Amino acid sequence: EMRLEAFLASGESVVSWESRPKLGLLGVPPILDDLIATFERMGAHIAYLEVPQQFAMIGNAENLAQQYARYTYPYGMNYRLREIVREMRRRGLVGLVHYVQSFCHRQIEDIVLREKVDIPVLTIEADEPASVGENLRIRIEAFLEMLGT
């Protein structure tokens, strides 16, 4: 009984997801294995994941071809922005993390993204599987501080 009470009391200090700043993760699938966990350990909540949502086949499509035609991710940023902005507003996002792969054409889209959205954007670039390093951890921390977390 004492262990149960201690366990229940420990939950009182847990910060709810609702009170954390909500971010969106856009771009190519991250090759950094602890990227989302790093943001969450630092007090943020990744509330929108562009790529997994695109490929989850959510919604009613009459057939597979129609479902694939709904995907925006394979296209350029101007085409994707309508969906991104809608999700930004619907989810109450306060910042975006734009993950790009080194030497990939998607880096160019970062310019368009920054011009078209009205919330802060942190661009992260990587080129090989790894964990979040100290330099990136400091950039993430500064981004979250700028957002007021």
In this prediction, residue 94 carries a pLDDT of: 98
Give domain status of residue 64, yes or no: yes
pLDDT at res. 56 = 67
Give a yes or no: residue 138 inside a domain: yes
Which tens digit of pLDDT belongs to each residue from 2-33? 787 776 676 655 556 677 899 999 988 889 99
Range 128-146 average pLDDT: 96
37 within some domain:
yes
pLDDT score at 77: 83
In a domain, residue 139? The reply is: yes
Q: What is the CATH number of the domain that holds 51?
A: 3.40.50.11900
pLDDT tens string 61-114:
788 888 777 777 677 788 889 989 999 999 999 999 999 887 666 667 888 999
Per-residue model confidence (pLDDT) at position 66: 82
How much is the pLDDT for 62?
83
Structural domain that includes position 86:
16-146
Q: Quick check: is 7 in a domain? A: no
Q: What is the pTM of this model?
A: 0.81
122 found inside a domain: yes
The answer to whether position 98 is within a domain reads yes
Q: What are the DSSP calls for the chain, one per residue?
A: -HHHHHHHHHGGGPPPGGGSPEEEEEESPP-BTTHHHHHHHTT-EEEEEHHHHHHT--S--SSHHHHHHH--TTS-HHHHHHHHHHHHHHHT--EEEEEEETT-GGGGHHHHHHHH-SS-EEEEEE-SSB---HHHHHHHHHHHHHTT-
Domains: count for the chain: 1
Decide if 3 is inside a domain. no
